[in-house]
Structure 1
């Protein structure tokens, strides 16, 4: 059975897109764009992170981070949601290697300037992502392991052609809430480069 949007569904999706576009995203400078591939320069990002022993714990990790921005911090301060949600350590998990998978929210710039509240949950932590250059590509459809692997492989082929040297593990960036239909979601893979 093919999915057919109703007027109500279209209104909900439209409202979600408008509200999602208002969410703060990290600023970057586009250094090169080549179709679906891009070289970006990001500044330093402040993040709050929950660790997982497997990707199956995504909902638990998300709830912990949502708790932190929903006043479960030492100032009982509400913090605005940002995009994307970053997930690191996924490539090791996909290759069935030992490692920790991490989910992070980016802290809004206004909160960084005013001082970042500390988590009251000692299983989550604050840290920084050092600024630098990242090779990036987007992928729609699903967040399946196959979709992520395909996107990462294509990005690495492009990077090789551009003579960009990979540094560290890739990060996957997810911009939309789970209720957005997969065909409308924006997902990215980021690879730090020299």
Structure 2
């Protein structure tokens, strides 16, 4: 699907969000919470499937470029022309193929000199049942079960906020004698046209899972 087809959909969703005519309800990956303190949580996620791209540039430029590439895939840029509903309720309808509901969050992690941008795929799909992307930049991958320490915050997720929240999450991990096994990633739960004061963001750090002696 070309940008000519995607743009009207984005403009419609933007208008509906501002007028309150609909709520942006998206499926989120199932997880369990083993520890919760105010804005902090420790979560366990099962294996997940994600669509991802690797892009260069500054963080804000990279997430915008990655979002456009992944939006192309979920808006029908695949071999079966399957589209993904982003409104509430999620409507599944036949239109040249079955529809797929998009999940939150969109995650962004550093990848050498670039960034990996991911959309988590809905539950119930496998690598075999998801449509193949038309764009070779988009890859479907399986993510292993992972435990994360997470801190939630709102706003535009600028570099100062990300640095501050990463430091707070690091202190939380240390104070609870947890062991980080990777670098922090940024999860954005709302599309880029969401007003800044309504946005939900999270910094997530993977943790080692303690084993019984």
Class of the TM-score when normalised by the shorter of the 2 chains:
0.7 to 0.9
Selected match of 1:88 from 92, 97, 109: 109
Question: 2:77: which partner in 1?
Answer: 72
Contact 2:127 2:140 in 1 (8 A): no
Selected match of 2:50 from 36, 43, 47: 47
Tell me: CA distance 1:149–1:11, structure 2 relative to 1, closer, same or farther (3 Å).
closer
**Cα deviations across residues 112-169 of structure 1 (Å, max 9, x unaligned)?**
3871112121111111221121100011122100101111110000100001111112
Q: 5+ residue gaps in structure 2?
A: 1-14, 84-99, 209-213
Give me the CA root mean square deviation: 2.2
Contact 2:49 2:127 in 1 (8 A): no
Tell me: CA distance 1:66–1:11, structure 2 relative to 1, closer, same or farther (3 Å).
closer
Give the distance between the partners of 1:190 and 1:26, measured in 2 at CA.
14
Moved more, 113-122 or 142-151: 113-122
Give the distance between the partners of 2:147 and 2:139, measured in 1 at CA.
24
Q: When you count helix as a share of all residues, which structure comes out higher?
A: 1
Matched, 1:123 2:137: yes
Contact 1:74 1:119 in 2 (8 A): yes
DSSP 3-state at the match of 1:112? coil
Q: 5+ residue gaps in structure 1?
A: 1-8, 93-97
Within 5 Å, give how 1:175-190 maps onto structure 2: 175-190=189-204
**Number of residues of Structure 1 aligned to a counterpart in Structure 2:** 176
Question: 2:151: which partner in 1?
Answer: 137
| TM-score, normalised relative to structure 1 | 0.82
Within 5 Å, give how 1:1-194 maps onto structure 2: 12=18, 14-16=20-22, 18=23, 20=24, 22-54=25-57, 55=59, 56-78=61-83, 79-89=100-110, 98-112=112-126, 115-194=129-208
**Cα deviations across residues 21-52 of structure 1 (Å, max 9, x unaligned)?**
x3110011010101111001111110011111
Tell me: CA distance 1:102–1:111, structure 2 relative to 1, closer, same or farther (3 Å).
same
